[in-house]
């Protein structure tokens, strides 16, 4: 015991009384490494190296959970944990404005449901779907205050007047009323991958209940493709979509054609009326002459 006591005495003498010592303990119990007057429980002036991969530092908790801090290679600074999520108790700002995913889809979630997904391979953005098939794939209603579509002549080639068959085919289309139903898509395993989403969760993602209560009016893609195949697209999952916007020029030309026919009919009716009036006037004149 005397040897231990002597050693401790020497050690504490170095800590408390040697001005050149690297370890300092203040009267309040704060410990400093390379700091003359430590201001925190542990106050360090210099770098810290841990014993994890490439010197990363591991911070553990009583429950055995851990958080590793430190670059594991020359390209990234790593923050890793054995927990499912990171929790920030305040807002998160990124100086360079760059947020990305390393080797998977980028997902934004609320209430444990995927709300927006950016596919890591295609870059397609999905809202209400985890498997987008278009640059922007929205499963649900969209509210817009205005929209413009690129239509500059310089961005088009092989410009021609619309074919007559496009005008006559419009009369073959039949408008339908319907309620949106996404249940056929629920068999898609892509919708269930990663994140533990359930069928209920996916329905919440696309707000299925709200969509189902609103009756829609439109066309059936399988009907439209027979007459306007270039306005119908089939995605990789086998579901069809219609380019409704491109039907507007067709309707404009149909209205113009019908208006031309109406104008011609009005001209013919007016001509016939004039002829009838002239013939009636002649008849009346003849009858009046005969009476005299």
Q: Which residues contact 280 (CB under 8 A, 6 or more apart)?
A: none
Q: Within 10 Å of residue 142's Cβ, how many Cβ atoms?
A: 8
φ/ψ (deg, to 5) at 2: -65, -40
Question: Confidence band (pLDDT; 50, 70, 90) for 256?
Answer: very high
Query: What are the structure tokens assigned to 26, written together?
Result: 């203040």
pLDDT at position 204, please?
A: 47
* 9 — pLDDT class (breaks 50, 70, 90): very low
DSSP string, the chain: -HHHHHHHHHHHHHHHH-TT-SEEE-TTS-EEES-SS--SSEEE-S----SSGGG-EEEE-TTS-EEEES-SSSS---EEESSS----SS----TT-----SSS-EEEEETTEEEEEE-TTT--EEES-SS--SSEEESS----S-------GGG--S--PPPHHHHHHGGG---EEEE---GGGGG-GGGGSSTT--HHHHHHHTTHHHHHTSEEEE--HHHHHHH-GGGEEE-TTS-EEE--TTHHHHHHHHHHHHHHHHHHHHHHHHHHHHHHHHHHHHHHHHHHHHH-
* Best mean pLDDT range from 7-16, 210-219, 227-236: 227-236
Q: What is the pTM of this model?
A: 0.61
Segment 92-101 mean pLDDT:
85
Range among 86-90, 227-231, 284-288 with highest mean pLDDT value:
227-231
* pLDDT value for 95: 84
Q: Is the pLDDT of residue 106 over 60?
A: yes
Band of pLDDT at residue 188, cut at 50, 70 and 90: low
Q: Which two tokens stand for residue 202?
A: 């996916």
Q: Tokens at residue 168, please?
A: 């006559």
Q: Which of 68-72, 117-121, 288-292 has the lowest mean pLDDT?
A: 288-292
- In this prediction, residue 277 has a pLDDT band, given cuts at 50, 70 and 90, of confident
Report pLDDT for 228: 95
Residues 36-85 have pLDDT tens digits of 888 999 898 888 888 888 888 888 888 889 988 888 778 888 888 998 88
Decide if 253 contacts 162 (C-beta within 8 A). Answer: yes
Over the stretch 151-162, which tens digit does the pLDDT of each residue have?
899 999 999 999
72 versus 244: which is more confidently predicted? 244
Band (pLDDT 50/70/90 cuts) for residue 225 is very high
- pLDDT tens digits, residue range 12-45? 554 454 544 578 888 898 999 888 888 999 898 8
What local confidence, expressed as pLDDT, does residue 243 receive?
94
The number of beta carbons lying within 10 Å of the beta carbon of residue 240 is 13
């Amino acid at each position: 015991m005397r040897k231990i006591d002597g050693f401790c005495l020497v050690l504490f003498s170095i800590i408390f009384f040697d001005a050149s010592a690297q370890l300092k303990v203040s009267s309040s119990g704060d410990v400093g490494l390379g700091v003359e007057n430590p201001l925190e429980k542990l106050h360090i002036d210099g770098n810290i190296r841990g014993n994890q991969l490439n010197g990363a530092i591991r911070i553990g908790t009583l429950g055995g959970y851990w958080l590793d801090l430190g670059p594991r290679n020359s390209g990234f600074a790593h923050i890793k944990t054995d927990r499912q999520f990171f929790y920030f108790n305040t807002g998160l700002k990124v100086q360079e404005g760059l947020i990305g995913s390393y080797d998977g889809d980028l997902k934004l979630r609320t209430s444990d449901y995927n709300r927006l997904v950016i596919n890591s391979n295609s870059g397609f953005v999905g809202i209400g779907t985890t498997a987008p098939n278009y640059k922007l794939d929205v499963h649900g209603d969209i509210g817009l205050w205005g929209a413009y579509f690129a239509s500059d002549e310089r961005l088009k080639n092989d410009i021609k007047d619309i074919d007559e068959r496009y005008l006559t085919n419009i009369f073959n289309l039949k408008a339908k009323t319907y309620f949106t139903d996404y249940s056929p898509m629920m068999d898609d395993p892509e919708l269930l991958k990663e994140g533990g989403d359930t069928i209920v969760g996916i329905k919440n993602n696309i707000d299925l209940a709200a969509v189902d209560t609103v009756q829609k009016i439109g066309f059936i893609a399988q009907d439209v493709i027979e007459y306007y195949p270039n306005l119908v697209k089939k995605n990789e999952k086998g579901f069809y979509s219609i380019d409704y916007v491109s039907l507007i020029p067709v309707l404009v030309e149909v209205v113009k054609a019908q208006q031309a026919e109406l104008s011609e009919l009005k001209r013919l009716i007016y001509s016939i009326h004039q002829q009838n009036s002239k013939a009636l006037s002649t008849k009346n004149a003849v009858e009046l002459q005969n009476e005299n």
